[in-house]
Each structure stands twice: as C-alpha cells, then as structure tokens.
C-alpha cells in the first residue's frame, strides 16, 4: 500500500492503509511524509467538496498559467469514475487519458499534477467527492475539454442519456481546440 506510479509522468494513485475493527475504520487521508518516495512536491492551499447524484458528470476542467492546479482527489461516500487527460504538449502521453474507480470502499486517491484536465462521473446513487488543490481557483485561468470528444474516446460507463451536465460542460471545446496548457 502507498503511492503507485502510473504510466503518466507525475500521475500517482494512493492506496491508503485502512485500520478497521468492529468499531469502524481509521486511515490517514494525507500525510506529507509519505510523498518522499514520489516525485510529488506540493503545498496544498485549498480543500473542496462536491455532493452529486448518480449520472452527474463534472469536467473535463483545468487551469493554466500561474494558477494551474495539482489536485489530490478522493471519494468520501459513494463511487465515481475519475478521468484525467494529459494536456501538456511536451508530454509523451499528451492527449491520452487515464481513468480509475474511486469509492468509499477502496478509499484510493489520485494525485493529478498540473497539466491534466480532470473530470468524474458519479456511478452510485450519491457521492461526496473531495479534493485538495495547490493553487486557488481563478476564473480567468479556467479551461476545459468536451467530455465526449470522439478523439479522446473516453468510456464514461454510463450512457449519454443518463448523464447530467452543467451548461458550461456541454459547450467545452474539443481537444483539438482546447486552451493550450502553460505554467
């Protein structure tokens, strides 16, 4: 258990140690000391929480420039399919996506470095999704990619008619027209 490297530079999965007994469980959801075996160098400045119902799809979002964000994401209640797309033009995995099931059973987390568009869809009846960010939200730095871009070919598990999206997410640009990522 601990940090597992993915094939995407800087993208890590965290499998926490869960201590359970007849009273419940305990886990450390974050401990800066565990990062020593990774290439993660981060100082989190903001925690966010979202509660959503089944079929809600949020994403694919990212920020550019000095307010680009790294995130550590997890699910407190329920289950989501979490998806990231590499938008770093110099990366060998540019334009590729990675997906993982995060839920309240496995309690896994995903560290999403700067330069990835991020989104998730709720698979359970309800989910509480929380994440730490290393930069503050900045509307002027906001960017996104359309969730159903055929070039990305993301399998969101649920059918289109079962998805619930914001007006903003319905009109995000295709990958080929996305806002260039820069630091």
Q: What is the pLDDT of residues 128-178, one digit of tens each?
A: 999 999 999 999 999 999 999 999 999 999 999 999 999 999 999 999 999
Where do the H-state alpha helices sit in the chain? 167-170
| CA 96 – CA 168 distance, rounded (Å) | 23
| CA 131 – CA 50 distance, rounded (Å) | 9
Catalytic member of 97, 118, 120, 131: 131
pLDDT (0 to 100) of residue 115: 97
Q: Domain 2-17+42-177 carries which CATH code?
A: 2.60.120.10
Domains of the chain, by residue range, sit at 2-17+42-177
Is 61 one of the catalytic residues?
Answer: yes
pLDDT (0 to 100) of residue 122: 98
Quickly state the pLDDT bin for 1 (edges 50, 70, 90): low
**Residue range 6-34, pLDDT digits in tens:** 999 999 999 999 999 999 989 889 988 88
Residue 164: DSSP 8-state: B
Query: Which tokens sit at 58?
Result: 């949020």
Is 137 one of the catalytic residues?
Answer: no
pLDDT (0 to 100) of residue 36: 87
**Residue range 65-89, pLDDT digits in tens:** 999 999 999 999 999 999 999 999 9
Least confident of 3-12, 32-41, 90-99: 32-41
Catalytic member of 61, 97, 118, 178: 61
**pTM (whole model) above 0.85:** yes
């Amino acid at each position: 258990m601990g940090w597992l490297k993915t094939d995407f530079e800087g993208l890590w999965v965290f499998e926490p140690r869960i201590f359970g007994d007849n009273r419940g469980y305990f886990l450390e959801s974050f401990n800066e000391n565990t990062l020593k075996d990774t290439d993660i160098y981060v100082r989190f400045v903001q925690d966010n929480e979202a509660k959503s119902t089944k079929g809600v799809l949020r994403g694919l979002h990212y920020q550019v420039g000095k307010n680009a964000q790294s995130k550590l994401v997890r699910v407190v209640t329920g289950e989501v399919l979490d998806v990231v797309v590499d938008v770093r033009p110099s990366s060998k995995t540019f334009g590729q996506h990675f997906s993982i099931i995060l839920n309240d059973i496995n309690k896994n987390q995903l560290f999403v470095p700067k330069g990835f568009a991020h989104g998730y869809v709720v698979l359970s009846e309800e989910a509480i999704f929380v994440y730490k960010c290393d930069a503050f939200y900045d509307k002027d730095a906001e960017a996104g990619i359309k969730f159903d871009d055929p070039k990305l070919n993301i399998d969101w598990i649920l059918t289109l008619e079962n998805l619930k999206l914001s007006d903003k997410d319905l009109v995000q640009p295709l990958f080929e027209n996305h806002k260039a990522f820069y630091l």
